[in-house]
Amino acid sequence: MAHVVFHNKVGGSETLEAAVGQPLTDVLTAHGIPTNAVITLRNGKIVPEETTIVGEHDVIELRQVRHYDLDVTRRPARVVYGVPDPVYVKSVMFDTAGQLEHRVEQFDEESFVRYVEETFVQSVLSHGVLNQGDSVVIGLSGGRDSVAFLKLLERTRHRLPAFSITSVTITGLPDWEEPATFAAARASAEGLGIDQVIVDAHDIERVFKLRRPFVEAMNSVVGGESRHLNMVVGHQVLRRMLEDHAQRIGADTVAFGFNGDDLVASMVTWITSGYRMGGIPVRQIGGMRYIFPLYRIPKKELTIYLELVAPELNRQGTPGRFTTGPQERSMAYAMADHLYGLWPGIDYYLFESFATMQRYMFPLVEEKCRVCEGVYVLQEGVRNPIDICDVCDFFARQEFS
Ligand SMILES: [Zn+2]
């Protein structure tokens, strides 16, 4: 009979459930114990966790190496507010003078919809995300985020300041014109009674001064050595085309449908790369205001919300080859999802602390691209090409422009 014991650093020992033949790393994962937190002795001898399989007559001791209480994540103190038929459980960790408590609220369908809408209204009213008289351009891909954003606006408009909105759908790549997604874009603009402006490949070729069709250029990106830049280039093109339209109609604000975990994932990339990142949920660059009205709502909540209030708009096709990113992107999202699990509500803390950091960082240095005329932020410690943005520089080097 195998015996696996965890000796923690706060004076306790605990027998862990483990089956003969089970990898020890599985046992650790199942019990919420990080490999980095323990030294393992099997029958009195130090062994690596990664190569250890629980044997029938083994006595395995796990000794925590540092003095701290791992139970803050393994068995957090909880206060649960329950309902009979929950569809979703929202958990937020509160830190009150160093004491941690998870407040866990269960929602049924009705209270969940109310919760998401309340979160949305509160987050756009604070930090000056949306103001009276704003003229806002929103990129409407028909993806869940942009559709959920318009649905939220439609259902909460009476509680928001009066602003004007134009939705812009950018076409020119097969992924951006996937029929179910495109139909969802059209339906949600109609639901809100706003016009849907279509920007096409010719507009993109004009702004980026491309000498060949945009789709051809992007095909050689995804098929070539620079395929890892595929989503970066795609996003930059979308952003620039939204701005281009905003400038034409005299709008001062561009709204992006990035949700809570999108922004937490970009903070993971930011903190591990040191790249410049503008403010959350509002950034001002080159005379244009960029806003993230969904920054308090994770993708999972948006998806359930859409399923409950407008299931017919929740039927997008699968992402195509132009919407598939490198592993680095998956890593950032996986880290973000794990962080939410370990520290529920970490987004609240991250965004607040980031707002403080924005105040003590050196001011952003802006430059205007001589090709697409987009305004971008210079990066420290790397070679910044003169007067040309990353994407136009990339297009020029590939001889697309
Ligand atoms: Zn450019």
Bigger pLDDT: 132 vs 177: 132
- Write down the pLDDT at residue 259: 94
Tell me, in angstroms, the distance from the centre of ligand 1 to residue 396's CA. Answer: 10
Residue 197's DSSP bridge partners are 168
pLDDT, mean of residues 285-300? 94
Residue 278 has pLDDT above 80, yes or no: yes
pLDDT, mean of residues 173-190? 85
Tell me, in angstroms, the distance from the centre of ligand 1 to residue 385's CA. Answer: 11
Tell me, in angstroms, the distance from the centre of ligand 1 to residue 150's CA. Answer: 29
pLDDT digits (tens, 9 = 90+) for 209-246: 999 999 999 998 888 888 888 888 998 999 999 999 99
- Write down the pLDDT at residue 16: 97
Bigger pLDDT: 57 vs 318: 57
Residue 317 has pLDDT above 80, yes or no: no
Tell me, in angstroms, the distance from the centre of ligand 1 to residue 392's CA. Answer: 4
Tell me, in angstroms, the distance from the centre of ligand 1 to residue 390's CA. Answer: 7
Statement to judge: residues 340 and 296 lie in one domain: yes
- Write down the pLDDT at residue 322: 77
Statement to judge: residues 161 and 178 lie in one domain: yes
Residue 303 has pLDDT above 90, yes or no: yes
Statement to judge: residues 160 and 209 lie in one domain: yes
Statement to judge: residues 155 and 265 lie in one domain: yes
Tell me, in angstroms, the distance from the centre of ligand 1 to residue 314's CA. Answer: 34
Tell me, in angstroms, the distance from the centre of ligand 1 to residue 327's CA. Answer: 26
In a domain, residue 374? The reply is no
- Write down the pLDDT at residue 60: 98
Tell me, in angstroms, the distance from the centre of ligand 1 to residue 238's CA. Answer: 12
In a domain, residue 147? The reply is yes
**Average pLDDT for the chain:** 92
pLDDT, mean of residues 175-203? 87
- Write down the pLDDT at residue 202: 94
Tell me, in angstroms, the distance from the centre of ligand 1 to residue 200's CA. Answer: 18
Statement to judge: residues 167 and 260 lie in one domain: yes
Poorest-pLDDT segment among 32-46, 64-78, 319-333, 340-354: 319-333
pLDDT, mean of residues 58-82? 95
Poorest-pLDDT segment among 179-188, 208-217, 291-300: 179-188
Tell me, in angstroms, the distance from the centre of ligand 1 to residue 310's CA. Answer: 38
pLDDT, mean of residues 84-109? 96
CATH number at residue 356: 3.40.50.620
Say how many C-beta atoms besides its own lie within 10 A of residue 357's C-beta.
Answer: 11
In a domain, residue 112? The reply is no
- Write down the pLDDT at residue 361: 82
Tell me, in angstroms, the distance from the centre of ligand 1 to residue 227's CA. Answer: 19
Residue 172 has pLDDT above 90, yes or no: no
Name the band, by pLDDT with cuts 50, 70 and 90, for residue 188: confident
Tell me, in angstroms, the distance from the centre of ligand 1 to residue 394's CA. Answer: 9
Tell me, in angstroms, the distance from the centre of ligand 1 to residue 22's CA. Answer: 54
Name the band, by pLDDT with cuts 50, 70 and 90, for residue 107: very high
Tell me, in angstroms, the distance from the centre of ligand 1 to residue 242's CA. Answer: 14
Tell me, in angstroms, the distance from the centre of ligand 1 to residue 288's CA. Answer: 16
With pLDDT > 70 as the criterion, what percentage of the chain qualifies? Answer: 100
Tell me, in angstroms, the distance from the centre of ligand 1 to residue 270's CA. Answer: 22
Tell me, in angstroms, the distance from the centre of ligand 1 to residue 389's CA. Answer: 4
- Write down the pLDDT at residue 349: 93
Tell me, in angstroms, the distance from the centre of ligand 1 to residue 206's CA. Answer: 12
Statement to judge: residues 157 and 56 lie in one domain: no
Statement to judge: residues 55 and 80 lie in one domain: no
Tell me, in angstroms, the distance from the centre of ligand 1 to residue 229's CA. Answer: 15
Residue 119 has pLDDT above 90, yes or no: yes
In a domain, residue 118? The reply is no
Name the band, by pLDDT with cuts 50, 70 and 90, for residue 98: very high
In a domain, residue 176? The reply is yes
Statement to judge: residues 49 and 90 lie in one domain: no
Poorest-pLDDT segment among 98-112, 140-154, 316-330: 316-330
Residue 385 has pLDDT above 90, yes or no: no
- Write down the pLDDT at residue 137: 96
CA nearest neighbour of 101 among 88, 92, 109, 110: 92
Name the band, by pLDDT with cuts 50, 70 and 90, for residue 359: confident
pLDDT, mean of residues 125-131? 92
Tell me, in angstroms, the distance from the centre of ligand 1 to residue 373's CA. Answer: 6
- DSSP letter, residue 53: B
Tell me, in angstroms, the distance from the centre of ligand 1 to residue 141's CA. Answer: 22
pLDDT, mean of residues 190-210? 91
pLDDT, mean of residues 183-207? 89
Q: How many domains does the chain have?
A: 3
Please state, in angstroms and rounded to a whole number, the distance separating the CA atoms of residues 251 and 137: 7
Domain of 87, in residue numbers: 76-107
- Write down the pLDDT at residue 237: 92
Name the band, by pLDDT with cuts 50, 70 and 90, for residue 129: very high
- Write down the pLDDT at residue 21: 97
Tell me, in angstroms, the distance from the centre of ligand 1 to residue 339's CA. Answer: 35
Tell me, in angstroms, the distance from the centre of ligand 1 to residue 364's CA. Answer: 18
Please state, in angstroms and rounded to a whole number, the distance separating the CA atoms of residues 304 and 116: 10
Tell me, in angstroms, the distance from the centre of ligand 1 to residue 183's CA. Answer: 30
Tell me, in angstroms, the distance from the centre of ligand 1 to residue 295's CA. Answer: 27
- Write down the pLDDT at residue 294: 96
Query: Whose structure tokens read 């994540």?
Result: 73
Provide CB contacts within 8 A for 120, sequence distance 6+. 152, 156, 293, 294, 296, 297
Tell me, in angstroms, the distance from the centre of ligand 1 to residue 388's CA. Answer: 6
Statement to judge: residues 184 and 299 lie in one domain: yes
Statement to judge: residues 90 and 18 lie in one domain: no
The answer to whether 292 touches 254, Cβ cutoff 8 Å, is: no
Please state, in angstroms and rounded to a whole number, the distance separating the CA atoms of residues 237 and 139: 12
Listed residues 52, 70, 88: the one ending a domain: 70
- Write down the pLDDT at residue 207: 95
In a domain, residue 222? The reply is yes
Tell me, in angstroms, the distance from the centre of ligand 1 to residue 58's CA. Answer: 63
Statement to judge: residues 66 and 159 lie in one domain: no
- Write down the pLDDT at residue 178: 84
pLDDT, mean of residues 25-44? 97
pLDDT, mean of residues 294-313? 94
Q: Is 27 left (phi over 0), alpha (psi -120 to 50) or beta?
A: alpha
Tell me, in angstroms, the distance from the centre of ligand 1 to residue 106's CA. Answer: 47
Tell me, in angstroms, the distance from the centre of ligand 1 to residue 240's CA. Answer: 8
Long-range Cβ contact pairs of 112-116 (< 8 A, separation 24 or more): 112/87, 112/88, 112/304, 112/305, 112/308, 113/305, 113/308, 113/309, 115/90, 116/152, 116/297, 116/301, 116/302, 116/305
- Write down the pLDDT at residue 90: 97
Statement to judge: residues 179 and 310 lie in one domain: yes
In a domain, residue 12? The reply is yes
Q: What is the CA radius of gyration of the chain?
A: 25
In a domain, residue 398? The reply is no
CATH number at residue 45: 3.10.20.30
pLDDT, mean of residues 1-19? 92
